[in-house]
Every structure is written in C-alpha cells, then in structure tokens.
Structure 1
C-alpha cells in the first residue's frame, strides 16, 4: 500500500512541485524599500523574551508588510537562507526605526517595531546553534531594541552581518561606551582576526550558562596570533541539540564531547526537524552509561558529518578507554589538557586544509629556474618576450606560466608513478570520498571509465551494462574485448529520455545467465548513478541483491554527475563508496549472517543443492552470503562537473577488497595506457584544492544548491503565469509508480525529513538539484528554446534538452541572484508568449496549437536495445562481440552508407540490417545504435523525430553506415 511520509499541508493538497498550494512567498530579490520579513516557518520557536513589546498589527504596505506567525525549527535545508534573510531584515527594520516615526500617530513605526521583535525572536531561537554571533550578543541587541536605542542596535547588527559575510574590514564594537560594558563573549566575538580562515567548535555538555561561558573563554584563551586558523566555541546541552547544530550549522568543523550532556533538545523542535533527529536518536539512551551515550553520539556525528573531527574530554581514567575508542575519536583528553586540545583542533582542520600537490606547485612557481627540457611555455619563456602572443600572459596571468613544467622534481611528483605530493593528494581524496584508494584523472571521466573497464575485463568476459550509459563505456567495452549484454532502462517516452535500469531486470538477467550455465563468465555490471536527468539508484540494495546471485560481481558506478553527493547526509547514502562501506559493515554483523541463513533455507533445496525457481528469487529482497561475498566497487566521478576543478578533472574511487591481489597490476597498466605522460599540472592542482573545499564546506554548498533548486521549482509551481507554460517534472513524472513506495513528487520542498524518508525507501529517486522543465505548452522544441530563448537572448546556459524539456542544474557555485534571474527570465518569456498569442490570428493560433499538440503527445517510443546480429553473438544469451563488430568494419567491402529513407524501406520489408558504428545523439551521449546491432524501425523513427543538432556517427549527407548484405552472409 502506497504511503506518503509527509503530512499534507494547508488544505491537504499538494501540487506537482510537492509544495503546499496555499503558500506563496516571493522568490525574487527584493529591493531594500520592499523587504519582506523572513519566512519564519523554517526556523526555531522560542518564548518571547521578557519585556518584549507586543506586536500590533500594521496595515500592509511596501515598507512594513505583515509579519509571519511565531516560528519553530522547520526544515534544516532552508535554515541557511532564512537565517541570512532574518539578519538582513533586522538591519533594514532597525534602519527604518532609527530614522524616527512616520505619520501623525507613528502607526507604521509601531508595526515595524513588532516585526523587528519577531525577527529577533526568530534569530534567538536558532542562534543557539551558532557560536557567532551567539546568544550573548543577541541579548545585548535585544536590550538596545527594548530601550529604543535603534541606531546603536543597527551598528551592532551591521557589525554582525559584516562578520557573518566574512568581510575583510570588520567594524569595531559600536556605540559610545559600549565596549566598556560589553561582556567578554561579545568582545571576543568581534575581535576574531578576519584574515584567517575561521570555523566553529561544538562542545556538547549540559552545564550552567555561567560555566559554559567560562568554558568558552578558557578554550579561546589558548589561541595564539601565529595560529593558522581562528575559531569560536559554542556549547549545547544535549544529544539532540548536538544533532540539530550539525544539521543547521555548516561552520562547525570539530566536536568536543564531554560527559554529562542531556538527551532531549533544550528548545521545541518543529515536526520536520523532529522527524529527522528522531531517526538518529535511539530509544533508551537515558539508561545507558555516560560513556555509551557518548559513543552513540560519536557514531551519529559520523553518519551526519563524517568529515568532522570528534574529540572526547573526560575526567575518568582515559588510559583504559583509549584503545577501545580510537576509531570513534580523533583524540581523548583530560579536562586540564587545554593547550593540547586547542592544538588538536587546529591540526584536525589543517589536515583537511592541506593540499600537497597544489602547495608543491605554488612553491615550484616561486623558485628561480632555467629550463633545458621540453615545454617552451614553461616559466613563460616563449610568451613573455613575444610581441605577438603577449596577450596570452595578460589573459591567463603569470602564475599559470610559472607553474607550467614537464619536470617531476621539486616536490611535483609523477602522476604515473606517484610517491610524493600527488600520492598524498590522492590519499587525502580517498579519505574525503570514503574510498580505499583514489586516482586522479586529467582527461575526464571518459578516460576514467576506460581505465576501469580495461583493468577489470578481459576478452570474453561478460559485462552487463545500461545501454544508456555514456558513450565512453561502450568504447571501453569495445577496446577491452568484453562480451556486452545490454540492460534497458525504463523509458520516459513523453519526454524522450530514459530513466534507470530496474533492479528486477538486472536480477532477471543474472538469473538467466545462471540458468544458461554462464554465470561464471559474468564479470562486471556498469550503471550510471545519477543519470544526466537526475535519476538516482539505491546502490546498496542493487549491490546487495546482485551479490546474492553472484558473490564476486564487480560494480562500476559512473557518478560523473554525482561527485558532490558525498558531502550531504541524505545524498551520501546513495553513493557507491558509502553503500560499499555500509555493506562491508553489514557483512560482519551477526544478525545479517543469521538473516542470510534463514533466507538460504527458503531459496535453496537442502537435498539437491539446487536453487528455487527464478520467480522466488525475483520476488524476494535477496541477502548475500557473507562467507562468499567479495566487495569490488569502483566509482568514476567528474569532479569538474559538480565540484571545483578545471575542465577534465576527474577521479576514480576504489573500494575493492581484492584490489592488490586481483587488480592492482592490471589497473596500473590500464592507467598508464590511457593517461598522458604529460598530464596537466593545473588540473591536478585543482583536484587537490577542490577536495579541500569539499571537505571543509561541502556540506554547506550542497545544502545550498539543493535548496536553491527547490526555490526555482516552487516559483514555477506557484506563479499563475509560469504555470500556463512550464512545469517542473518531479518523481511522479520521472519515476514510475512501481518503483516508488512513497508518493511525494518533490520531497525536499516538504522538508528534510521527507527528503530523507523518500531516499531511504524508494528504488529510484530524483536529485532535487536537477530540474527538468516541461516546455511543451510553449509550442517551442527544447533545442530552439535553449539556443534562441535562453542562451542567445538572456545568456542562460544549460546542458541538455529533449524535444519538449530543458534541464536546469544548480551546483555549488549557483547564487541566489542567479536563481532570481532565471525566474525573472522565465516570467519574461511567459509574458512574451502571452503577447505573441494575442497578436496571432486564427491561422496562427491553429499553427501554435498544432505545435503544442506535437510536443505534448508522445513521439515514437524510445528504442530499447534490439539484439546483436547472429554473426556477432556467441550463443543463446544476449551478449555480443562488440569489439569484433567494430573492427570488422575496417575490412574493405564490409560496410556501406544508406540514406534514412532507403534504410527504413529495407527494415520495413523484413531485411535484417546491421549497424556498422555507434550512432550517438549528444547530449546526453548514449548510443541509439552500436556496432553489430540489428536496426529496427523504432530506432529509425526515433532518430527521425530527434531535434538534437549534434549526432555522432551519423552523416546527414551520406546516411547510416551499415554492414553490407553480402558481407553478413559471407564467411569473411
């Protein structure tokens, strides 16, 4: 029975964007004169402070719009935005109040004062979880507002906002005499040096407020001017408060746990956050010993924010604890070890901040050198004195030229045989992404895929592969000599693209090979996670069930578009490396072993040793045999696509229990086969520094990118004009019902708990940062909409379109201004469509309606893989000799070109026509035809309906390249 993990909102209805129909906040950037009070639904509630004035109702006006209701902590995914808006509105409101009352009765002034107090109450409820500005400064601010000292309050808020924005020039404490009366916490917060990276330390301990302030002061007293980083300290009293802080506050880089903390949150939590936190709070925690509670909290921190350093401070005999706790804590201290704790906090962040290769490259560029090797551009030698290409140095800068070299001396290391800075940079990347090993690739994930395939697959090995994988996989399989068995993803015919491969289809193919006696020949399976269009697998379940059928199956997950996912707690569980780590832990769990034994008794005949019928295996969620399974998992990622890296910067992540024994040498040979002996050092350096950024601020950036995408979806869903022409496609449109246990179209718009629930339960989910915009009602095809309307007219760049959709992607560099501009452009386009429609006569309207009808109805069905021609198959199973078909085309007389019309006639007449090459529309870059594939009328009809301008392997002037009939019938 289908369930919805999210209670309905408002009137119990939900639109296709998964948003409450009754709410419609503005998404545009608002000028200061019309600032709207922040949406309080998404932040904590707190009782009004004593003495806070009541909030009289003010008549709606541009300067003082109605204030929202009292807040509670809603969804953490939006907290960063609402918090920033709250401080911005507070500054605006105080500025207005400081200018004095307006009107004869000051009604507007009174209403604005109420809104300012509500904004302040909202901030007081959330700032508990931030060290800066902290509750002490907020208390000071409330006192100024209560005494109507609005100018002084405004100066304090301006200082806070400047510090929060990491401004280079930060004001001193404001107000005459204020510094003398300010307490130590306020003074300390404003005296942080702003030219050093700074972070926050979370201390979890239930101690009185006075002791908490003394603790903070004591820790901060250890700081020195020579420290590489600066930090603030925040103390929360409970287990739940610690989890809330970690979800809300991305500035936290270290946690210090001290015995004595409580379990329950000190403030009321909203329903969304309560559901999220409850999933990480086990029952009966109060009954556990303090050390066991601490261990549980440390484990939960590792689940939510594995990049953070966790320290234990205790007064017990820590010598006896150290051996058993090392895995959970970076270090264990007694309370008096203040300086060591301080130095450890800095060292922990320094370990993530370290960029071995980038640093080595910087140092090399600063050294004097004389170049007597290849690469004239090195040190700018061929550029600096040239009157003809001097503009190259002007454009790229001198550092680029100084850092160019072909030498591996001076700490620069060799990519093909790393022993120094590159090796260390790759080790740090493996830690960041949860891999056993990581390898840098400087010519894209296409090359990364070729490396992995060649290292694993030998000629004759069978590889199961999604036919819709990127074309690099198909070329890699051809080069490796694999026997290719194509899997079909579920089609989304209405939108002319594919989803993902159902687990049932994968299991069925493995069982077919078992029945045919060829399961031992199956070596690897290759799947794309997530797809170009944002469809995400459940890798843990896929690997778990596949390994129950074939315990040594190797997995290659193409995560070209999913590198960012490792740095968010919900996304992370659907990455290959996280899933592999969880599976490895489960395989050691005694309960998991017992579950397998019980299931084995049902699926295997005890007397004959034969498996039960395939139907029973297909109906059952399979549990692999821990005694037989070997976890061999690879992931390829385009760092340059979704994290910070120069173009072609990619990584290969490895979680292979048999790597050194079975694949180490082959991998190194494959790596050298496909890697340039002259790798681009700038790309390598960018991979190194991109990893640093991901570890230190990835959580904040990924949270932001997903939230901004949701705001676009909500804007489209709520704007009456936009809804006439556009629709954001959610899970209901992109994931068929049989693959969903839940029924939430855009779960993140309903809160983090819904997002978490859906991503735990459904077979396929949709990445919220991918927005597929249905444009069928505009009457404009996707390619024309992209080029003529978005890119040429407004400078909005997008990667992919289909015949009636455009794919927008937010990323870690997307800004709120960019989001507002996109919404503004869509509104302008909708207005232009309205204007154009009004000018059309009857004939023009009929033509428009005809175009809309074409784009709104399903085109020719997406073509599944047909079959390999008999000449290129090895038996009754579906795999084929892709390599043999590819190289057969090299022989004279083997192929010919046939125009589309003639080819269609041949196919319709029943003749078997076989493709002699790859035919690949780009984007998205997967082949409609491969060498050796029998061409069908469905494939030709689909190609005829495509509006993609770039099709690799098809020559419009010559047609399709196919094998000649004579050649196929010969024995050549």
Structure 2
C-alpha cells in the first residue's frame, strides 16, 4: 500500500522541483509557486515510478523513504550543498511526497515536520534538514537520540518531544478521529505530555485524523495503533492524495459495514456517522479498543452505543481517558502464567518433591553436566517445579494463572474458550475427536489431512468417510476439497437414510502448501443439509491469520462468529424461507434433485447450532516453544453436551507433568500478537511478496525457477479473481480474492518450481540449500520447494535467500556444471498421478445396499482394521516388487497400517485400505527420505487373506 497514487499523481501537495531546477545553473531555492499546504509543486502532471511487481507496504515505504533522504541529504551536505544534485534527484522529492501523506497516519513527527524539511531544502539549508531527517530515522530504528538540549534551532516543545524519545518504556499509538485545526492538534499533544507520569508503565502518542476515510487508512496502515477515540466532529471523505489501491480498499472496508449507507450522509447525522465508522474499524481491527468522546447528550449516547465502545467520555474527561487507555493496554500486556513462573523462580524454596532438576538441585553442583546450565541458563532450572506442588496452577484443573492465561488467549483469537496443549497439534486433534465423536459415528475427513486425524479416527472407533482433494499432479501434492464434493457426500448419506450418523467434518485450513478454504461458506452450506454438524478446522499453519484484516476472515473462529450473527438476523430468516420453496416440493415435501442443491448457495436454518473447533500449532507460525499449541472452541452446545467429554479427552491425552516453559511461551506469544500481531503479519506477507517478485522478475532467476501462483495451485473453476497473486497487485485485489474465491493461496508461502535446476526437490533441499548455504526449509515435492515466511523473517533473510538463489541459478545455467550434474543424477523418474483413496476392503467397508450396490457409501472401520494389523499372526511383510506382481495377478492386498511420507505427513495408506497399482506406482516414485509405517528392508505390512488365516488356524 502506498500513501500516494504513483500512477495518477497530479502535482497536488507535491515536493516536485521546478521545471528548470534539473538543468542549467544551480540555484538555492525552488520556484516560489506553492500549494495551499505549503508544498512546492510543478504545474504539469508528474508521474511517479512504481515497482512493477507490487506496491510496497506502508511500513517499508516509510522506512525506505526516510533512510534514503538521510543518505541523499548527507551526500548533499558533504558535496558543499550544490543544489543541482538534489534538483536532479527525483527520488528525494518522491520520498518527501510519500512521507507527506504517510506521516498523517503515524504518531510522532506528522505532516508539518515533512513540510519543514522541504522548506529547508528549498532554502539550501541542507545541514539542518539532515538533522531533522536523522531524528526521524533514529526514531524508526529505535535508537537513542543524541542530547539536543543545546541545539539552538529547537524550541521548547521540540526539546520536550526529543527528551520524550529517550524514554525506554513500551510505546503505543492512539488514533483520534476529529476535524481539528493544526493548532488544535498541537494543543492535544501538549496536553498529552502533561498527562504522562513517571510511574506509568507505558507511554503513547496520538495520531489525529480529520475524516472517516483517514481513520480507515490509519487502521489499515499503522500497526502501532491499540486504541481509537472517536469525536463526532469528523467528516467522511479524505483530502489526502491516496493510491487507487488504498482508495479501493477503504471503499471495500465501508461496504462490509452493516450500517454503511447507500447515499451520502447528512453532515448533521453525527450519530449514524459514528456508528458506521465504529463498525468499520471493529471489522478491520477487532483488537482496537474504541472510545467515544462526545459533548451533548452523552447519557443517551452511552446507552445506545455501549456495545460498540468500551467507554463514552465528555471532552473534559481527558485524564479519565488517559487512565482508561493505560489500564486497557495493561490488560493486553498481562501474562499471568509467565509472571507467576518468573516470581516462582525468584522465590527461595525447599524442594521435597519428585523433580531433581527443580531449582537446579541435581545440576548446579554436578561436575559432569555443568554445561547444561552454561547453555540453557539457570532460570530454566529455577522455573521447574512439580505440577502437583500446587504453586503454579494445574493444566488439568486450572483455577488460577493458567485459567486466566487461557481466557486471555480466547479473547485474542476470538474463541469462546481456549485450551493450551503442550505436546503439539497432533495431540490437540486427538483431543477434539475423542471429545466430539463416538464409535460408529461417521466423520467426513479430508484424506490428505495430517496423520493425527486418521489416528484419532482409529482411537475413537468412528467411521472415516474420506473426501478427496483435487490433485496437483504436476507438482505432486494435493490441493483442497471442493465444497460441492462435501455437499454431494452429505446428500448421498441423506439419500441412504444415514445422515443422522454423520457427526463431524474435518478439514485442513490452510494446507501445508497454503491452500485456504472459505470456512464460513463451507459451514453454512453443510449446515443447510444437516444443521447440527460439528466442524474441526486444523489450522496448524494458520494461527497468524487472525491478526491481519484480510486473512482474519478465513479463520474458523471469525467464520463461526459471523455465521452466528447471520443466523440471528431477520434478513437471513426471510432468505432461508424463500430458498426452502426452491429446495423442497411444497405439496410432497420431497427434496429437489441433487443438481438443484449443488447449484444453489445453500442457507442454513436459523436454528442451526454453531459448533466449531480449531486446532493451531502456535509454535509453527507465532512465538512459542516447540509443541506449544492451542485448541479454540466456538461451540454453542459446549456447556450442555460437550464440556465433560472434552475434559475427559483432555486429561486422556495431556501429561500430568506438563512442560511449564511451553505454557509460559504460549502466554507470552499471546501477548505479542495482541500488542504487535498486525505489524508482524503485515511485514511477513510483504516480505513473501518481495521474494516472489524477485524470483519472477530477475532475468536469471526466472529462467531457472518459477513461482507457483493461484493459477498453478487452484483450478480455474474455484477462482473468481483473475489475478493469480492478488497481494502483489495491492491490498484491494487481495481483499476481493479472499472475499469471493472458493480457495485462495496463503501469500506467506512461496512454492517455487525447480525443474530448471535438473535436480529433484529433496536433493535441492539438502545438498544445495541446507548443506551448502545453511538455508532451512520444511517441505519439497519431486519438483518444488516451499519457502515459508513467518513473523520472525527479516529483510536481510529474504535478501540472503535471493542471493543464494541467484548463485544456484548461475550454477545450474553453467554448461559445465549441467554436464557434471547430469553425470551424477540418476535417470529422471516420471511422477505418476496422485492416487485417490482406493477403498476399504469389504471386511471393513460400509454395508453394500442390496437394492443398488453402486450406492455404497465410502465410510470404513479404521479401528477394526488397525487392530487386525497389530496381531502378528494376521500380517505378512511384502516387498514392493512382489506386491506389485500380486496386484497385477488380480489379488486385492489390504494395508495393515498407516504408511505416511513425512513431510507433509498425511497417509498414503490407512489400515483396511485396498492397495492398488496406482498407490504402489506413486510410492515408488517418491523421493521422501522419511516414510512412517514402511520398512524398506521388509516392505509393506499386509493383512493376510481370510482363507490364509483360516488355513493357519
């Protein structure tokens, strides 16, 4: 997102030098024509250059603009102040124009500060301009500013501001929406400095904008905001020069607001304007606390607006507002369990329980493991204690700090309840399955979901009805399950009279490779067929998505909340009644054909129950120690029908000696994303787009590598958006794609096709990226490598990766290197198509309908097959070649266990599944080094045929 329109800039409020400044004799001042804002401008249209790959995010544009100005003006000062240099440098003026707009939306220096720098440059006062720019750069870098007490050019207010910059307390920003004068803004800032107290734990700055549009822009671009104060005196439309992308995004944000008017609003209708803006901001940034500061009729306003605002103040209650802001941020900052464990580590204690390592007892005096303390530090040991000692609360029955920490996590992630898990999302998935599902109930599950779901089905005795994701044969991995396939299977169960057996639907959102569902749409249409379904969304890779205005909408918890609100509305009830007339015959009550149900966007009954669970690997995409995960619950029936079962399942799978360090990290990780999650995720997505753009545009890289886009990863029928990498085109395009397409691609994941290197993915990963350059990646396929950015990714890391890829591209394009590589490589293996789930063997499959055998449903009994495969006398090991010959001869071998290539971690074979030639061909072509459930020395575990078992007995 850029702060100015780089395609259509027309000279308004610009810093462009005059026509003759770039040539002829140097001069010390620009042309004197000025806009109303005090900026010098050129009369003719001025086009700005733009990165053809993508618009820069504001945080990066702002940082780069200040950094470039510091460099350029320093160069000017060293050169003796020859103005012809700056007059010829269009980048200086582009940077100043951008900052003129951007600084309105960030706390600190503001637009007038940029104007003053432009004035100094126009007068040739380069040293003073450089000093002002340096102060801005130091602030952005977080470095301490030098002592400015003796700077004769600063007034008292400026000295006070720079002294404040040296304050090391955590700092946040508060948005104020109010049509006020420049003097009024200065007065607000002066009043703020007077309110501050040395005992305050935090300090904050104001960002003051005059219009609703500007407030939306600030919410979209400034991640430092933690609160917003709305004063009714603002207007609607911005007067800033914004990019087309940003203008479109602001319009989209307003469209999503329930109170958005279809006609222009009267300037006197302040209450309606306030409501609309509050709803828009809450939709964009639900973590922002909203406050209303009004004058007249505050009592009646408070009653009408309480559910939208945390508090309503009169204008003279500035100090109460100040205390409320600090108090609220203190609640966000609170980490009850981490604080408790830190206090425990500082408190003297006598240890008489079972944990020798506690307090360092068995380590500190040891001659042989002192390096334990040297490496991990003494605090790790001081924080260790037995879970049964009672001091730090119990994970299995929390009543104190753990319970409060989980409640704070539920607030942060939009859940009704949240539970911490200390042994990964694999265990979290098993907990939910066991809590919700009973033996012989049917669970519809994506066949290529993580193996923990398949294991959970085996443990619970539920019957697995596998859903097939669309295959991506060219890159040897699966996409996601189309909605119509899910609906069709539900309709098949209804037709067979077995719909009541279907209990839960389990899907992966997002997949390892970044394919993201539309959970709200999936749940709504499935509930229209069976209105009490339970949904389990495996969001192991998607915890970060909650903290960005666009990605948030496709998380399970937000979808559940939106769906609950929809079902409660009168408009939905009316639309539902109208649709029922099309779906059912009014005389007989018989449902219309499946084709009608599949082609209609189904609406759930208003009395549908919202029962949604999400499991997240917090440690995968947010800050937490390994195996730190969470279960988020949005279940309307939890207290009445699931809570006891959930707690039993939780105790079944949770250690009675949980790792307290993992729990503390989950508490801290929650604090981080509530305080700075938007900033971190925004940066993560922007850096991923930088990587994609570099690979796609670099002349050498694009010959060797190809970035796979939505066109490669999502079939066209599941996409309405024409742009194949929406975020690279801007926030508005990104927004539209994520609002309309059935599937989208997580932009933080860049899948690169590497066929041009001549090596397979596993070789590229280990021998070239990891062994040679120390670049670590999780996943490859036969011809792709997946680069995942995260909230810890830096610009330096992206630059290093690009540098390495350029070196590798040069290596692989060298004729001598190619010849040497070809001599080392084995002959290329043509990857066979990805195999669909074959079928359960008859002994474990659903009963075949006597009246129509073609209508057999796909569910099978994993548990019976699993335990049959665990009895040594029931199985044999068969090498792949022999198994292939048996299949070719017409035998129907049955898998005795799970066979799971890792990564990505989903089973190619499950217990009771028929082993087909397609499965064997696929397995033989895999280059994965780690395959769980398969021993290359012995081969596959196969359940002996019934006649063989009878003969043995």
Residue 751 of structure 2 is aligned to residue 778 of structure 1: no
**Match for 1:486 among 460, 466, 474?**
466
User: Which shows bigger deviation, 443-452 or 146-155?
Assistant: 146-155
Q: How big is each residue's C-alpha offset from its partner over 1:370-396, in whole Å with a ceiling of 9 and x where there is no partner?
A: 111011111111111111111110111
User: Which shows bigger deviation, 752-761 or 76-85?
Assistant: 76-85
- Number of residue-to-residue matches in the alignment: 916
Residue 782 of structure 2 is aligned to residue 803 of structure 1: yes
CA contact (8 A) 1:921 1:927 kept: yes
Structure 1 Cα separation of the partners of residues 610 and 3 of structure 2: 49
Structure 1 position 678, deviation (Å): 0.5
Structure 1 position 874, deviation (Å): 3.2
Structure 2 Cα separation of the partners of residues 715 and 88 of structure 1: 22
Structure 1 position 347, deviation (Å): 1.1
CA contact (8 A) 1:40 1:72 kept: no
Inter-CA distance 204–55: structure 2 relative to 1 (3 Å threshold): farther
Structure 2 Cα separation of the partners of residues 558 and 921 of structure 1: 19
Equivalent in the alignment of 1:152: 128
Residue 574 of structure 2 is aligned to residue 594 of structure 1: yes
Equivalent in the alignment of 1:23: none
Equivalent in the alignment of 2:708: 729
CA contact (8 A) 1:435 1:653 kept: yes
Structure 1 Cα separation of the partners of residues 50 and 821 of structure 2: 50
Residue 480 of structure 2 is aligned to residue 500 of structure 1: yes
The 5 Å alignment of 1:844-855 reads 854=828
Structure 1 position 933, deviation (Å): 0.2
Equivalent in the alignment of 1:227: 200
Tell me the secondary structure at the aligned position of residue 961 of structure 1: strand
CA contact (8 A) 2:76 2:85 kept: no
Equivalent in the alignment of 1:509: 489
The 5 Å alignment of 1:16-35 reads none
CA contact (8 A) 1:72 1:269 kept: no
CA contact (8 A) 2:420 2:630 kept: yes
Residue 838 of structure 2 is aligned to residue 866 of structure 1: yes
Residue 703 of structure 2 is aligned to residue 719 of structure 1: no
Inter-CA distance 967–931: structure 2 relative to 1 (3 Å threshold): farther
Inter-CA distance 801–57: structure 2 relative to 1 (3 Å threshold): farther
Equivalent in the alignment of 1:262: 235
Structure 2 Cα separation of the partners of residues 46 and 316 of structure 1: 41
Q: How big is each residue's C-alpha offset from its partner over 1:914-948, in whole Å with a ceiling of 9 and x where there is no partner?
A: 00000000000000000000011000000000000
User: Which shows bigger deviation, 206-215 or 790-799?
Assistant: 206-215
Equivalent in the alignment of 1:817: 796
CA contact (8 A) 2:420 2:629 kept: yes
Structure 1 Cα separation of the partners of residues 216 and 10 of structure 2: 17
Tell me the secondary structure at the aligned position of residue 286 of structure 1: coil
**Match for 1:921 among 901, 911, 915?**
901
Equivalent in the alignment of 2:35: none
Structure 1 position 306, deviation (Å): 0.5
CA contact (8 A) 2:17 2:87 kept: no
CA contact (8 A) 1:285 1:293 kept: no
Structure 1 position 325, deviation (Å): 1.6
Equivalent in the alignment of 1:743: 722
Equivalent in the alignment of 2:88: 111
Structure 1 Cα separation of the partners of residues 669 and 95 of structure 2: 36
Q: How big is each residue's C-alpha offset from its partner over 1:353-378, in whole Å with a ceiling of 9 and x where there is no partner?
A: 11111111111111111111011111
The 5 Å alignment of 1:562-581 reads 562-581=542-561
Equivalent in the alignment of 2:164: 191
Equivalent in the alignment of 1:47: 12
Equivalent in the alignment of 1:29: none
Structure 1 position 470, deviation (Å): 0.3
**Match for 2:209 among 236, 244, 248?**
236
Equivalent in the alignment of 1:900: 880
Residue 533 of structure 2 is aligned to residue 553 of structure 1: yes
Equivalent in the alignment of 1:323: 303
Equivalent in the alignment of 2:400: 420
Structure 1 position 195, deviation (Å): 1.2
Runs of at least 5 residues in structure 1 that lack an aligned partner in the other structure:
1-5, 7-36, 60-67
Structure 2 Cα separation of the partners of residues 138 and 840 of structure 1: 54
Equivalent in the alignment of 1:252: 225
The 5 Å alignment of 1:298-697 reads 298-407=278-387, 412-627=392-607, 629-697=608-676
CA contact (8 A) 1:477 1:882 kept: yes
**Match for 1:703 among 675, 678, 682?**
682
Tell me the secondary structure at the aligned position of residue 861 of structure 1: coil
The 5 Å alignment of 1:20-169 reads 41=6, 47-48=12-13, 56-57=21-22, 69-70=47-48, 78-101=57-80, 107-108=84-85, 110-112=87-89, 115-167=91-143, 169=144
Structure 1 Cα separation of the partners of residues 379 and 619 of structure 2: 21
Structure 1 position 218, deviation (Å): 2.1
Q: How big is each residue's C-alpha offset from its partner over 1:604-645, in whole Å with a ceiling of 9 and x where there is no partner?
A: 122222211111111111001112x00100000000000000
Structure 1 position 827, deviation (Å): 0.2
CA contact (8 A) 2:711 2:724 kept: yes
Inter-CA distance 737–118: structure 2 relative to 1 (3 Å threshold): closer
Q: How big is each residue's C-alpha offset from its partner over 1:415-459, in whole Å with a ceiling of 9 and x where there is no partner?
A: 000111111110010011000000000000000000000000110
Equivalent in the alignment of 2:183: 210
Structure 1 position 151, deviation (Å): 2.1
Structure 1 position 878, deviation (Å): 1.1
Inter-CA distance 152–268: structure 2 relative to 1 (3 Å threshold): closer
Inter-CA distance 175–763: structure 2 relative to 1 (3 Å threshold): farther
Tell me the secondary structure at the aligned position of residue 811 of structure 2: helix
Inter-CA distance 805–574: structure 2 relative to 1 (3 Å threshold): same
Calculate the TM-score normalised by the size of structure 2: 0.92
Tell me the secondary structure at the aligned position of residue 249 of structure 2: helix
Inter-CA distance 46–339: structure 2 relative to 1 (3 Å threshold): farther
**Match for 2:277 among 297, 300, 303?**
297
Tell me the secondary structure at the aligned position of residue 395 of structure 2: coil
CA contact (8 A) 2:832 2:925 kept: yes
CA contact (8 A) 1:170 1:194 kept: no
Q: Point out which structure has higher relative CO (alpha carbons under 8 A, 6+ apart).
A: 1
Tell me the secondary structure at the aligned position of residue 540 of structure 2: coil
Equivalent in the alignment of 2:27: none
CA contact (8 A) 2:232 2:274 kept: yes
CA contact (8 A) 1:46 1:121 kept: no
Runs of at least 5 residues in structure 2 that lack an aligned partner in the other structure:
25-45, 255-259, 848-855
Structure 1 position 171, deviation (Å): 2.3
Calculate the TM-score normalised by the size of structure 1: 0.91
CA contact (8 A) 1:152 1:174 kept: no
Tell me the secondary structure at the aligned position of residue 510 of structure 2: coil
Equivalent in the alignment of 1:910: 890
Structure 2 Cα separation of the partners of residues 268 and 614 of structure 1: 52
